[in-house]
Structure 1
Amino acid sequence: MSVIKEVHFTSEPRPDELPMNIWLDDGDSAVDVIDALALSPFATGSQPWSRTATLERVRPDASLIPATGQVVRVAAEDGREARLVCGEGWTLRVIRYRNRAATVIVTAVDEELARSVIEEVTKDVEEPAPENDHVEMGFWWYGAHGSRRSEKPITASPWREVSGNYAAALESPLTRLMSITPADVHGRLILLHGPPGTGKTTLLRTLAHEWRSWCQVDCVLDPELLFGSPGYLMEVAVGTDDDDKKWRLLVLEDCDELIRAGAKETTGQGLSRLLNLTDGLLGQGRDVLVAITTNEDLARLHPAVVRPGRCLAQIEVGRLPYDEAARWLGTSEGVSPSGATLAELFALREGVVGLTTATENTGLYL
């Protein structure tokens, strides 16, 4: 049975303020209390100005607290810490995440004070993005507090450096894919299919590097939720008018259930929403591409997914043939007559013995 507590502010509101009650039950956490307390001055009107900043790669030694602020509440849960900080005429809520991202919200009695507090809090607190072999990639997931996106630098090599990791027969189609520009986009779906460990994920990281000047790459960590929730899908795929005007590539890894034959019966509207995103009204509203990796054989995929005109690229990423695998490794020792996956070759190079074969289908993702 829920225990309901009503918390009343004891001070009488001024004529231009609104009354404020906070209702709590056993489903609320300490962080929820901090959220409510942080917003109450704005809700009542005593601090009618608000500013928000989202930070990535916050330095570990950055306090995110103004010099004149006093910490009045602290709560930690589920990989995040919340702090409530008060000062003369302002209130600050700071949420820091385990991945070093942070969100700060300040309310104040006037606009200038709100701006000055948030500028003090956020000045020089982020580390610069790594250079050279890194690109920025976004990661979407849906949690207890709705959808969230975190942007992180990932290692990504240029195509010229990794092209030798793939079969010679793939050089031409993969080079064409890497060199695509917005003017070349015909079809919104990129389909990479093949056994585990053949380098499909590596290709996507390389694609993010090669397209970095015109396309932002976002990886959706929960594609089954994305296509099961229209609201989540709209936020991820459509965004807002304030978003960067770059094209966006949504990466959906290993979502076999969504695109295999019979998906309509097993995933409900998920397949229909995917098709609408790549070749329907939703997809035409924004410059959005979708990249899907799957271990399924092409013949087992839903015909609507692979129909002509829908795919910008449809590439089977397979094992390196025996001769090419031996040349990559520098020796034929340990190489199966049927060839080897990229994961198997890296393992052989590191001296790992007793490799799991690709037919067992237990992993070795790259």
Structure 2
Amino acid sequence: MSVPHQKASLPKSWMVSESLSGGMKLPFVVGLDDSDTPYDVVDALALAPFTTGEQPWARSARVDRLRPGATLLPSGARVLRAVVEESRDSRLAVGEGWTVRAVRWRGGGGEVTVTAVSEQLARVVIEDVLRSSVAESGADNAVNMGFWYLSSQRGPIRTSRRTATTTWASIRANYASAAVGPLDRLMAVRRDNVVGRLILLHGPAGTGKTTVLRALANEWRSWCQVDCVLDPEALFADPAYLMEVAIGFDDDGDPEGESADARGADGGGTDGGGTDGGIAWAGDADSGDAGSGDADSHGAQAAATDRMGEPPAHRWRLLVIEDCDDLIRGDGRGAAGQQLSRLLNLTDGLVGQGREVLVALTTNEDLLRMHPAVVRPGRCLAQIEVGALPHTEAVSWLGSAEGVRSSMTLAELFALRDGRGLPRPTTTDARHGMYL
């Protein structure tokens, strides 16, 4: 029996393992049809040197804030392909022993992938890219916020953006006195006195509920990471999406020292790694675990342990879900009832057990119209009506009684102050609408 025939009779897994360990190249075949685009071609070409084994080391990073004019290409790059589309542009470039695929998004940010003939070269090239591409940190009141959505092609996606926030002290006077006390107590909550996992802000549109959440992100920045769910109807309709969000994704290594607690947190989640100064790292090709993050992060995690040898606590996460009127209404029947059950399970059921997760809901619904399970004792960390300012307080805020009605929302007061007047009353259901 010939040797080739003997090898063919061995298990396939053995053959692949032996081929790779022996340095043999994998075949690389790409099929294109009229549904493919030039962008797809760049993606395929970027994979070629890694797939064949010519450049077996790969590193990737996502940059949320690019410097103006940044190309995401290292110095000395020779561009082989360039694709410009409405929402993005993509470039394939090469240098001595390395290949780079760089994508820039029109909305800001981008991603870069480097393959190279050695681990050290891959690291040097991507560090060169990031040094020249990452924007400086934003204003002092800006924090990193995550945004979740469900992609039809890629599944649950989380992106991180530097988001401007505000201090509670700077906006406290914009709220009715009946709400200020409860909001003061909410802003003062810290990880060691969390009681209840649900934060419910309810009241008419235009009263400043979203602004409260922006201030909360700022006040809690030392111990709590804020993630906004952009499609709550999809979140509670898809168990896989819900579990991905519940498991979470920790923003590691805050560049401004916002949270010592964040350093050393694990980097699980959809994006495959932690973030570092607006950079989301993907796993190294040699790490053996695509979701484990940058190898350096493990060293940072070890260094972050305190003197007693205990690692720092993970940051809590606050999931923000706005415009959830349909979800928490009192009927709770059919599909809506099932989605409500999943929401409550996320706060204090089995899904939420072991995860330091808070959920903030904003709604225009009146408290009496909400499902009793949402507002039952012990479930809410805070249940606050963010209402309109009564006449006396509205006059004090505006400095004039002209045009002030018996009660005024914050949006209406800003309109009067800026000379834009008040909108004419309509027959639209006042319980629904966007949030200030």
TM-score (norm 1): 0.89
Amino acid at match of 1:242: G
Who is 2:142 aligned against? Answer: 134
Q: Does 1:249 align with 2:318?
A: yes
Corresponding residue SS for 1:23: coil
Amino acid at match of 2:30: I
1:317-357 CA-to-partner distances (Å, cap 9, x unmatched) read: 111111111111111111112x1000000000001124244
Amino acid at match of 1:82: S
Q: Using the alignment, how far apart are the partners of 1:267 and 1:24 within structure 2?
A: 43
Who is 2:183 aligned against? Answer: 174
Q: Does 1:344 align with 2:382?
A: no
Who is 2:329 aligned against? Answer: 260
Alignment of 1:285-296 (within 5 A): 285-296=354-365
Who is 1:199 aligned against? Answer: 208
Which segments of 5 or more consecutive residues in structure 2 lack a partner in the other structure?
A: 1-19, 250-265, 269-273, 275-313
Who is 1:80 aligned against? Answer: 88
Query: Is the 2:391–2:404 Cα contact (8 Å) retained in structure 1?
Result: yes
User: CA offset at residue 15 of structure 1?
Assistant: 5.7
User: CA offset at residue 358 of structure 1?
Assistant: 8.5
Q: Using the alignment, how far apart are the partners of 2:91 and 2:155 within structure 1?
A: 20
Comparing 272-281 and 254-263, the one that deviates more: 254-263
Which segments of 5 or more consecutive residues in structure 1 lack a partner in the other structure?
A: 1-12
Instruction: Return the match for 2:341 from 269, 272, 277.
Output: 272
Query: Is the 2:201–2:385 Cα contact (8 Å) retained in structure 1?
Result: yes
Amino acid at match of 2:344: L
Comparing 313-322 and 264-273, the one that deviates more: 264-273
Who is 2:199 aligned against? Answer: 190
The total of aligned residue pairs comes to: 353
Comparing 211-220 and 277-286, the one that deviates more: 277-286
TM-score (norm 2): 0.76
Amino acid at match of 1:343: A
Q: Does 1:218 align with 2:287?
A: no
Corresponding residue SS for 2:115: strand
Who is 2:367 aligned against? Answer: 298
Q: Does 1:316 align with 2:371?
A: no
Amino acid at match of 2:41: V
Corresponding residue SS for 1:58: coil
Who is 1:4 aligned against? Answer: none
In angstroms, what is the RMSD of aligned CA positions?
A: 2.2
Structure 1 runs (4+) greater than 6 angstroms displaced? none
1:209-245 CA-to-partner distances (Å, cap 9, x unmatched) read: 1101111111111111222223332333313532572
Which protein has the bigger strand share?
Answer: 1
Q: Using the alignment, how far apart are the partners of 1:341 and 1:157 within structure 2?
A: 19
Amino acid at match of 1:115: R
Alignment of 1:65-144 (within 5 A): 65-77=73-85, 79-143=87-151, 144=153
User: CA offset at residue 146 of structure 1?
Assistant: 3.6
Corresponding residue SS for 2:372: coil
1:9-41 CA-to-partner distances (Å, cap 9, x unmatched) read: xxxx99611112223344433322222221232
Q: Using the alignment, how far apart are the partners of 1:285 and 1:327 within structure 2?
A: 47
Corresponding residue SS for 2:137: coil
Identical columns (%):
56
Higher relative contact order (CA 8 A, sep 6+): 2
Amino acid at match of 2:137: A
Alignment of 1:34-73 (within 5 A): 34-73=42-81
